[in-house]
Chain A
């Protein structure tokens, strides 16, 4: 059913459709509207679940951890500082193989303080062992959130659904919200085999010595790798239910014989698509949006880059002293290709800086210049820099 909704509102309704039994809520800009909307749904009796208004994100993640361990489907959302505060718990949840879904409303990370959108927060926890899916639009966020529960409960891996803060969360648009029967058909009730139950007690969270720790990590790694199949299958299954085509691992705008590709994550994929329509006199460009960042779909990326001479990786975070995060991983994946494209890695739009349409020709300019710099912050304004030390 179609509704004109703010992104946060749509997410709240979508989460409610997934029938969570426990929600932990701690507010942080720009996630606040999600938890506020959920609170209203609970208050109005639309959503019947235990809403726990915790006292910090650390506890929010801990509450959902406990809830899942006790056999309940759970949800929480956070951003930025909150994601980092709960970082320890995220590692714990994943390592203990507890299925759950969390929305990360991507926002820059302090210091300095910023409330605006970039993807440093989710990138900072990329090694926590969660599945990370990046949404390019609010519709994508709705569909991905539902699929996330399916994926998570099947693989017993937690899923972080990344949604650009403000850009998506605070944008009003017309969206199709599925109905309850559709979601119920797709998502069976949560039946967690390893739940804590006095009838068959187990001990979760043991101390593992060196003789088995490697295997614990190895099992997790293997599960993450294998999750790609579940991600693909979940998208196909949801397409059957709602009719919308999903691009589970990587969305390729068109597989033309373009020689230049631009790969990005999140909502700026839309900006690039609009820009391509506007700027006709640049070389043909293959636009790609990486949806699944973890597990890292190296093979799918290589296939998506087949035939390219240049690949621009345009990302919304950076690793100070190193460069791009996504770009570095892409480069490594492509290095195994025959005739691998040259990778041009840029960070853009850090701390919520607007990414205008003319980023598109500027990117092409940079490619043409063919600099030997592996990484650059493409929208940096050098005049504003303080003296270097």
Chain B
């Protein structure tokens, strides 16, 4: 249970950590939750002088079961579809009050791609100084793994199951970052929890910009995707290394940067780790066709974003997460 007398009480140590704590322990996310990790990394990188609007979804549910809150930042959850609008209101208020505090809007793929799409578009179009962060676990996870427009093609969810007549989700994953970028905002980017330093860099980059910015972070869901919680980073990494989730940056709608893939991995390496794609490995012509389709989609991404690395690079898919010996360094 953790109440043994020899258990160290780390309260002091916890409060002395050399990083800003935005999301605290004690939240009720599943083991290995990619979104919890993403939210922790984003709030850490953004620092204390930020207010947050959070859409309905896993993140707000597992962090704020009254009277407990895991947030150490000022935070509001309103509804499912309005986080960017609430954020816009906060931004306007802070501006009117002459405050420099920044505003971040957070939502999952459900709220960002679907029900809150309009609010997001409106916020972007009006040029609010708000960063919207989408934690993309590719389905309505909080309500039980139903498909969203972010669910990848051929993935199984409870509302796009596989069966005799179907091979998982029929439709393709909505290309949200292109749609967002088409608002010609100063900065829109994708990232992944497999590359925490990339997330940090992009959060800071976005917050240093005046105007609407967007960060789309790939966050695996062990429960919904069907893998062990310990594999969340590995799965996220493979999504990037296969080309299925490209890491790119767009400025005013144009490609400004990308994370090259040093060694492209076949999509099967990624798919076979997740039971939501299990039906694609059956001895079935349609399954084989779908595997090819997914490979073609990955190849297409690599082509249009020019993701194939030409040489080893400290910022490519294998260099970006390189560790260094820390030694006695505290921070």
Which of A's residues lie within 8 Å of B, judged by CB? Answer: 21-22, 24, 49-50, 52-56, 58-59, 62-72, 74, 88-89, 92, 96, 196-198, 201-209, 212
B81-112 CB mask vs A (1 if < 8 Å, else 0) is 11001111111111111000100000000000
Contact B93 A22 (CB under 8 A): yes
In the complex, what residues of B have CB within 8 A of residue A67's CB? 89-90, 92-93, 96
Contact A204 B50 (CB under 8 A): no
Q: A22-B89, A67-B90 given as contacts; is B50 within 8 A of A59 (CB)?
A: no
In the complex, what residues of A have CB within 8 A of residue B91's CB? 66
Q: A62-B82, A63-B85, A208-B66 given as contacts; is B95 within 8 A of A201 (CB)?
A: no
In the complex, what residues of B have CB within 8 A of residue A205's CB? 54, 60, 64, 76-78
Contact A198 B74 (CB under 8 A): yes
In the complex, what residues of B have CB within 8 A of residue A58's CB? 81-82, 85, 118-119
Contact B66 A209 (CB under 8 A): yes
Chain B interface bracket (under 10, 10 to 19, 20 to 34, 35 or more): 35 or more
Contact B89 A24 (CB under 8 A): yes
Contact B82 A201 (CB under 8 A): no
How far is A89 from B51 in the complex, measured between Cα atoms in Å? 20
Q: A53-B126, A62-B82, A67-B92 given as contacts; is B119 within 8 A of A196 (CB)?
A: no
In the complex, what residues of A have CB within 8 A of residue B96's CB? 21-22, 49-50, 67, 72
Top 4 A-B pairs ranked by shortest CB distance? Answer: A66-B89, A72-B93, A55-B122, A205-B77
Q: Give chain A's interface secondary structure class.
A: mixed
How far is A207 from B56 in the complex, measured between Cα atoms in Å? 10
How far is A63 from B126 in the complex, measured between Cα atoms in Å? 12
In the complex, what residues of A have CB within 8 A of residue B74's CB? 196-198, 201-202
With contacts A66-B86, A68-B93 known, what are 4 further pairs, Cβ within 8 A? A62-B78, A69-B93, A72-B97, A203-B71
Q: A55-B121, A56-B122 given as contacts; is B75 within 8 A of A63 (CB)?
A: no
In the complex, what residues of B have CB within 8 A of residue A204's CB? 75-77
For residue B89, which residue of chain A has the nearest CB?
A: A66
Contact B93 A66 (CB under 8 A): yes
B72 contacts partner chain A, Cβ-Cβ < 8 Å: yes
Contact A63 B79 (CB under 8 A): no
Contact B64 A206 (CB under 8 A): yes
Pick 15 A–B contacts, CB within 8 A, sort by A.
A50-B96, A53-B126, A56-B119, A63-B88, A66-B89, A68-B93, A69-B86, A70-B90, A89-B78, A92-B78, A92-B79, A201-B72, A205-B54, A209-B65, A212-B66
Contact B89 A63 (CB under 8 A): yes
B292 contacts partner chain A, Cβ-Cβ < 8 Å: no
In the complex, what residues of B have CB within 8 A of residue A74's CB? 89, 93
How far is A42 from B89 in the complex, measured between Cα atoms in Å? 17
Q: A21-B97, A53-B126, A59-B82 given as contacts; is B71 within 8 A of A201 (CB)?
A: yes
B185 → chain A closest CB, angstroms: 15
B210 contacts partner chain A, Cβ-Cβ < 8 Å: no
Contact A196 B65 (CB under 8 A): no
Contact B125 A55 (CB under 8 A): yes
Contact A22 B77 (CB under 8 A): no
Residues of chain B in range 34-81 having any CB-CB distance to chain A below 8 Å: 48-51, 53-54, 60-61, 63-67, 69, 71-79, 81
- Of the candidates B48, B66, B89, B122, the one having the most CB atoms from chain A within 10 angstroms of its own CB is B89
Q: A202-B74, A209-B66 given as contacts; is B86 within 8 A of A71 (CB)?
A: no
In the complex, what residues of A have CB within 8 A of residue B48's CB? 198
In the complex, what residues of B have CB within 8 A of residue A208's CB? 66
For residue B63, which residue of chain A has the nearest CB?
A: A203
Contact B65 A69 (CB under 8 A): no
Contact B78 A65 (CB under 8 A): yes
Q: B51: which of A21, A64, A92, A198 is its contact (CB, 8 Å)?
A: A198
In the complex, what residues of A have CB within 8 A of residue B69's CB? 202-203, 206
